[in-house]
A = this chain, B = another copy of it.
Amino acid sequence: MEDEDRLRQAGLRVTAARLAIMRTVREGDHLDVDAVHHGVRGRVGQVSLQAVYDSLRALHGAGLLRRTEPAGSPARYETRIGDNHHHLVCRRCGKVTDVDCAVGHAPCLDPVSDAGYLVDEADVIFWGVCPGCRPEDTR
A6-14, A32-40, A119-127 - interface stretch: A119-127
- Collect the chain B residues with CB atoms within 8 Å of residue A109's CB: 126
**A71, A101, A102, A117 pick with most chain B CB within 10 angstroms:** A117
CA distance A46 to B49 in the complex (A): 42
- Contact of A88 with B by CB under 8 A: yes
A-side residues, CB < 8 A to B, are 67-69, 71-72, 75, 86, 88, 90, 97, 99-102, 109, 111-131, 134, 138-139
User: With A69-B72, A71-B69, A72-B69 known to touch, is A119 a contact of B126 (CB < 8 Å)?
Assistant: yes
State the Cβ distance, A56 to closest chain B Cβ, in Å: 14
